[in-house]
Amino acid sequence: MNPAKSRWSILLAAAALLWTAATPALAQHRGDGEPPRSRLLLVFAPDENNKQLTDQYQQLQRDMNQIDSEDVDVVYVIGDHMVKLPPPDMKTVSADELRKHYHVDATGFRVVLVGKDGWEKARWSEPTATGQILNHAQDMPQPKSALDKK
């Protein structure tokens, strides 16, 4: 066999092997370029001693396995504390910024459900049963980018 042909055969085989190894990684980054997002449950309270906050916290902690299985991240927005958002955002924002964005006054208690598309889907002004929240979360449509992928 000709040495030049042999080298080309090896190069082509190596390129094919590299392409097959890279294809799954490339497939993960197609689409809109954003990583998958969970539903978000924001619990707003004026301070740590708020009775409604305590009641909501106890309900959610009792049902945390259900909440996790439904792909819902819970974020508590209390007083004027800084809030760490879950992945993919992973940034810290002020409670005041979140209150303004979701139209919640500084003295109010609210439970706000945000969909995978980032839009508000439901809100409650009283502590809400986990089952009611999750039933509402299951009815939410997938973001357009997720539907496009199917």
pLDDT at residue 16, as a whole number: 46
**What CA–CA distance (Å, rounded) separates 21 from 143?**
29
- pLDDT-derived band at 90 (thresholds 50, 70, 90) equals confident
Using 50, 70 and 90 to split pLDDT, how confident is the model at 28? very low
CATH topology of domain 39-149: Glutaredoxin (3.40.30)
Per-residue pLDDT at 1 = 55
Q: Indicate the domain borders of the chain.
A: 1-30, 39-149
What kind and span of H or E run contains 140?
Answer: none
CB 125 within 8 A of CB 108: yes
**Is the pLDDT score of 5 beyond 80?**
no
More confident: 92 or 118: 92
Least reliable range by pLDDT among 9-13, 58-62, 66-70, 134-138: 9-13
73 contacts: CB under 8 Å, gap ≥ 6? 38, 39, 40, 41, 86
Q: Is the pLDDT of residue 17 over 70?
A: no
pLDDT averaged over the chain?
Answer: 78
Report the pLDDT value the prediction gives residue 10, as an integer from 0 to 100.
56
Given a contact cutoff of 8 angstroms between Cβ atoms, the answer to whether 39 and 70 are in contact is yes
What is the mean pLDDT of the segment spanning 33-60?
90
Residue 88 preceded by cis peptide, ω within 30: yes
Residue 35 binned pLDDT confidence (cut-offs 50, 70, 90)? low
pLDDT of residue 136: 77
Contact 143, 116 (CB under 8 A): yes
